[in-house]
A and B are shown apart, each in its own frame.
Chain A
Amino acid sequence: MASKVVLPKWGMGINEGTVLKWLKAEGDPVTEGEPIVEIESAKATEQAPATASGRLVKILVPEGQTVETFTTLAVIAADGENHADLLV
């Protein structure tokens, strides 16, 4: 099932983070739990995992951009699956 990857809230008081590096490119296959993006928050740099297995169909936040926690960073979907509702 198609799934969003959001900027995680790694601690109380952490309200935003910066995408440092995408470890996967759009179109790459990913496995649930596999690290796909490196994120820097005020307290630490950590990797966020894929939330589902499938293909990384869309990256919404480019490297270097700072966004609030729970902002959608990317969408993962199975081949041929409709994921349009996750892009809004």
Chain B
Amino acid sequence: MSTVELTYLNAILEAEKEEMQRDPRVILIGEDIALYSASGALGKLDPRRTWNAPISELGFSGMAIGAAITGLRPIVDLTIASFVYLASDQIINQAAKLRYVTGGQVRVPVVFRMSMWHNGANAAQHSDRPYPMFMNVPGLKVIAPATPSDMKGMLKSAIRDDDPVIVFEDNDLWGRKEAVPADPDFLVPLGKAAVRCEGTDVSIVSVAGCLPHALAAAGQLAREDISAEVIDVRSLVPLDAATILASVAKTGRLVVVDYAHRTAGAAAEIAAIVAEEAFAELRAPIQRVTTPDVQIPFSPKLERPLYPNKDKITAAARKAVLSGEERGSWPVKSYFRSGAWESTKARS
């Protein structure tokens, strides 16, 4: 398989370019996109394929939905993720609901792309990581790729999908490079997590751009003789619970790492699924490493310490492993294994 070295940012552009060249129904709409089209980065295109929009996020997002229903496959570039709130009425009330309220009469193949600009001294209104809000909307698909190959393959899958897909990019990853398959039909399916490194003592489930920190933590833990398995969820809706549950069944310990705010975040959902489905497998309480519930401050000295990082993840993993060992094994497991739970259930 031939590959080409691409940054995460260029992987986005390549995916868009390839899909726009392949399928005349794909159009691009958003603010300042004339920069791309004029530079030739998208290849030679009819001018009607790119729409350099006014500052009207709600309007042009809704227009993309109307265009999707009537035969196009628009990509909406919302640039910075904090701007999605302006467009959210159309995304939530129309894109997510139209197929359902029409009893399946329409398809809504539209992609909303946005970049999460945290960690760059951009302050509270440019630094949001709002993917959990959209996980709460049935009808949408929500992805957050963390490598150049995944970004290219999943964005292409999103463009070819017949449902609305929100693609969250992490701008901290823009400069990351790797060899990306050059095949224009290289696709990474939506809804499949990736095991990035195998381990037996603790499962570290990484959401979106937390991946490099999770891998660094796994490296540190290995030096401490703790074997960590790192799972990159990649897709939040659909969420690949099976891969996460299989890992927890093996390790008995779970750390979830998530850039979103703590309350009702992606980590909370993943933790809840594991608590519901795999309680008997757990040997220690689930640990969440998230951003605390505070607005993102401007000062890097205030901002930087808020986010998940290698040290926080390592500490959480140690805690999970040690709390299990200190107690021999967390009582829950023996309780379930002993059959006490079954007898309780039979009585109630």
Contacts and interface: CB of A to CB of B under 8 A. Distances in A.
B213 to A, nearest CB: 14
A69 B121 CA distance: 11
Nearest to B304: A68
Contacts of A41: 175
Interface string A37-60: 000111100000000000000000
Chain B CB count within 10 A is highest, among A12, A17, A18, A69, for A12
B269 interface: no
Nearest to A70: B300
A42 B126 contact: no
A14 B174 contact: yes
B8 A42 contact: yes
B172 interface: yes
A70 B301 CA distance: 13
Contact of B120 (A13, A17, A40): A13
B175 to A, nearest CB: 4
Contacts of B206: none
A15 B119 CA distance: 8
Of B8, B80, B119, B120, the most chain A CB neighbours within 10 A belong to B120
Pick from A13, A16, A18 the residue with the most CB of B within 10 Å.
A13
Contacts, number: 36
Interface string B265-300: 000000000000000000000000000000000001
A9 B8 CA distance: 18
Chain A interface bracket (under 10, 10 to 19, 20 to 34, 35 or more): 10 to 19
B7 interface: yes
A14 to B, nearest CB: 7
9 contacts: A12-B122, A12-B126, A13-B171, A14-B174, A15-B119, A15-B120, A15-B172, A42-B174, A70-B300
A56 to B, nearest CB: 25
A15 B9 CA distance: 13
B5 to A, nearest CB: 12
